[in-house]
Structure 1
Amino acid sequence: MFAKYRQTSLIVRIVIGLIVGALLGVIVPEWTWIGVFGDLFIGALKGIAPILVFFLIMTAISKYEAGAETHFGSVIVLYLSATFLSAVIAVVASFIFRVKLVFPQAVHVAQSAPKDLGTVIKDLLVNAVANPVQAVIDGNYLAILFWALMIGFALQLARPATREVFQDITDAIQRVAQLVIEFAPVGIVGLLFTTISQTGFGGVVKYGQLVGLLVGTMAFVYLVAYPLMVWGMTGQNPYPLTLWTLKVSGIPAFFTRSGAVNIPINLKAAADLGLNEKSYAISIPLGGSANSGGAAITISIMALAACNTLGIQVSFPLALLLCFLSALASTGVSGIAGGSLLIIPMAASLFGISNDIAMQVVGIGFIIGVIQDSVETAVNSASDLLFTAAAEYHDLRRSGRPVDVKAAVRRAQMRE
């Protein structure tokens, strides 16, 4: 039965969960036991997320080779700057459109947010060096990030076999996380039932506003901000390349909701563009972690929406710090569906939001994930291809061998 359950698309299952949860909330609001499924789902996420983040970042750092692939400087700069720019735009959008959430469970602010940047930096430093085991238990993502980086760098000196062991452990944890997410539709039934039975459809309308802000910001980033970056790199009209990458890469990624699944599609598209295989064979897979603008948008907007809901005032310096944190954290998200949602608690901790409340925000993320995660994956995957091409065209332009980008796209369209 479970095999048949998994054969059904996760998107279809989540849509069914949304419908069932809404109907039960309207028809039998007195069946409070249904909300237990949401509690179990959030509890499982709360348990696996800190371990997953720790091992993902530690393993990725342990395999980094200093000085390797230095000829990918342009694409790496594009990846990182685009991720940070996406976070900045998301923060600006959140200040302009102040969306509030309706939490599935009653919440209380455990502590107030720091009032000045000095206090923030002090708290960051103190929290970052907390006991790593306790950090995993408490969900202290700042300490998890710090110790994962430190241990990852130390593991660079270990034997390859040792690093492979950690990679195997990381893969196993990702499989467990994937198993938890397989039951997201069941958890969504409980979460949406609780919301509908307690707040009515007013809460769902709030989720609609959140979806609109997320999707609108991602669309602006991909159709305005990224083309400006490509124009700056190539000096040519960026839209033929931008729209083509959105079609050949973004649309498949929207439905698969997996950047890993979309890598072969991007590799073929890069070949159709006539790009250097030695470059794109590495830069496309690299983009799965280094280029995560969509994830940075999700993390920033969800964290600030939680602040708006709880009445936490966010200063500009604190918001700027969130941009750096979101950009950094988004490069470590897993390739599984909804991976960026598991990073939200770390961003929320910056504002003094407890882990219990943050995991409810994650639960809301899964409720809207049918749209949010699909668009996020489309932005991330399509921009991997977009920036890989832009970086190569930029290097060719600097060497005195400019490429006609529009003509390259036409040739690629003929090879499709």
Structure 2
Amino acid sequence: MGGDFDPASLNKPDSLAGILIRMIPLNPIKAMADGDMLGIIFWSILFGFSITRLSGKPQEFFINFFAYGFKAMMKLTQGIIALLPIGVFGLITTAVANSGIDVFKAVGKYIITISIGLSIHFLVILPLVFFIFTKINPLKHWKAMASAFATAFSTSSSGATLPVTIDCIENNVGVSNRTTSFVLPLGATINMDGTALYECAGVLFISQALGIDLSISQQVVVVMTAFLASVGAAAVPSAGLVMIFIVLGAVGLGDHPGAGVIVGTMLAVDRPLDMYRTMVNVASDSIGAVIVAKSEGESNLYPNN
């Protein structure tokens, strides 16, 4: 072809091509044993899609197996979360003893960074996307969704907010039940903009706190893994913080001895951030429902505004 392509570049772990190659595991069992998160996620997506191509009892078996396995893991996770305050107390005590007041300065910058990022997404990007696709004033939508936003902010759970979100979209916005019953439950499960943003910023904060500079290719891995991890995050409080270990593992920081201490410090201030990012997630879900409704020809929207 006359180009300068070097096949050896495909084997470089920090190149984009190398990242894409590593996403396809030669041995999925080995990928799980080695903690290769990109490979695990890629293989899981393919395996899940293959299950949808089955029918009858084989499909039912796999669906029930993984559904019950997920419930069991959630029970285990909830038990660990119940004990976390004790661990967080010890981790923060250690961090303050070693770093003094500097730890509070670093955490303060972290909170401000996450808050600014979520605010830009909530107040600029989402309204802009909404207006481009619907040609409707975003303030109308924000007003119609006020009770859902308040519920999301107070519960920190997209799942717990779902009934209120559906009520607002159907009664205040005027979207049909046919659309909301499909889009909103799906969105509450896989559409988590705020969580993905939080995980990206959180991993960068952890790497900087550890004195590790992530390369551009590693940052690409962070973005890709955060997107995929947020899709798999449960719609429960602090799910994003649990999933952040997946993103850390993808760039080789999951086993770093200092990572756990920093995550423990982040957990101490996670509740208000979790409330905000849940509200962002719900806002994104609701906007998606309205965009789908418009694309389906529904026109009698916002009848009371």
Shared topology, TM-score over 0.5?
yes
In 1, Cα distance between equivalents of 2:35 and 2:215: 25
Question: Shift of the alpha carbon at 1:142?
Answer: 2.1
Question: Shift of the alpha carbon at 1:286?
Answer: 0.5
Structure 2 residue matching 1:159: 3-state secondary structure: helix
Question: Shift of the alpha carbon at 1:145?
Answer: 1.2
Q: Greater relative contact order (Cα 8 A, min sep 6): structure 1 or 2? A: 1
Deviations 1:259-293 (A, max 9, x none): 11111111111221221101101211111122110
Matching residue's letter, 1:264: P
- The question of whether the paired residues in 1 share the 8 Å contact of 2:37 and 2:246 is answered with yes
2:64 pairs with 1:149: no
Could you say which residue in structure 1 is the equivalent of 2:155?
256
Deviations 1:20-65 (A, max 9, x none): xxxxxxxxxxxxxxxxxxxxxxxxxxxxxxxxxxxxxxxxxxxxxx
Question: Shift of the alpha carbon at 1:211?
Answer: 1.0
In 1, Cα distance between equivalents of 2:36 and 2:235: 22
Question: Shift of the alpha carbon at 1:239?
Answer: 1.9
- The question of whether the paired residues in 1 share the 8 Å contact of 2:35 and 2:249 is answered with no
Matching residue's letter, 1:375: Y
Matching residue's letter, 2:291: A
Change (3 A) 1:219 1:348: same
In 2, Cα distance between equivalents of 1:312 and 1:201: 22
In structure 1, the gaps of 5 or more residues are 1-115, 411-416
Question: Shift of the alpha carbon at 1:188?
Answer: 1.7
4+ runs of 1 displaced by more than 6 Å?
A: none
2:294 pairs with 1:393: yes
Could you say which residue in structure 2 is the equivalent of 1:171?
71
Structure 2 residue matching 1:183: 3-state secondary structure: helix
2:275 pairs with 1:379: no
Could you say which residue in structure 2 is the equivalent of 1:119?
15
Structure 2 residue matching 1:408: 3-state secondary structure: coil
Question: Shift of the alpha carbon at 1:182?
Answer: 1.8
Could you say which residue in structure 2 is the equivalent of 1:225?
125
Could you say which residue in structure 2 is the equivalent of 1:238?
138
2:201 pairs with 1:287: no
Structure 2 residue matching 1:331: 3-state secondary structure: helix
Question: Shift of the alpha carbon at 1:137?
Answer: 4.5
- The question of whether the paired residues in 2 share the 8 Å contact of 1:218 and 1:297 is answered with yes
Matching residue's letter, 1:224: V
- The question of whether the paired residues in 2 share the 8 Å contact of 1:117 and 1:318 is answered with no
2:297 pairs with 1:408: no
Change (3 A) 1:135 1:204: farther
Matching residue's letter, 1:343: M
In 2, Cα distance between equivalents of 1:394 and 1:162: 34
- The question of whether the paired residues in 1 share the 8 Å contact of 2:189 and 2:231 is answered with yes
Change (3 A) 1:208 1:243: farther
Question: Shift of the alpha carbon at 1:147?
Answer: 2.9
In 2, Cα distance between equivalents of 1:384 and 1:180: 29
Question: Shift of the alpha carbon at 1:325?
Answer: 3.0
Q: 1:17-36 maps to which residues of 2 (within 5 A)?
A: none
Question: Shift of the alpha carbon at 1:226?
Answer: 0.3
Matching residue's letter, 1:340: G
In 2, Cα distance between equivalents of 1:224 and 1:183: 38
Q: 1:76-87 maps to which residues of 2 (within 5 A)?
A: none
Q: 1:118-137 maps to which residues of 2 (within 5 A)?
A: 119-122=15-18, 125-126=21-22, 128-129=24-25, 131-137=27-33
| TM-score, length basis structure 2 | 0.83
- The question of whether the paired residues in 2 share the 8 Å contact of 1:223 and 1:242 is answered with no
Change (3 A) 1:242 1:324: farther
In 2, Cα distance between equivalents of 1:349 and 1:296: 16
- The question of whether the paired residues in 2 share the 8 Å contact of 1:291 and 1:380 is answered with yes
- The question of whether the paired residues in 2 share the 8 Å contact of 1:289 and 1:332 is answered with yes
- The question of whether the paired residues in 1 share the 8 Å contact of 2:36 and 2:250 is answered with no
Change (3 A) 1:346 1:358: farther
Matching residue's letter, 2:169: A
In 2, Cα distance between equivalents of 1:125 and 1:317: 13
Q: Which stretch shows the higher mean deviation, 298-307 or 354-363?
A: 354-363
Query: May I ask how many residue pairs the two structures share in their alignment?
Result: 288
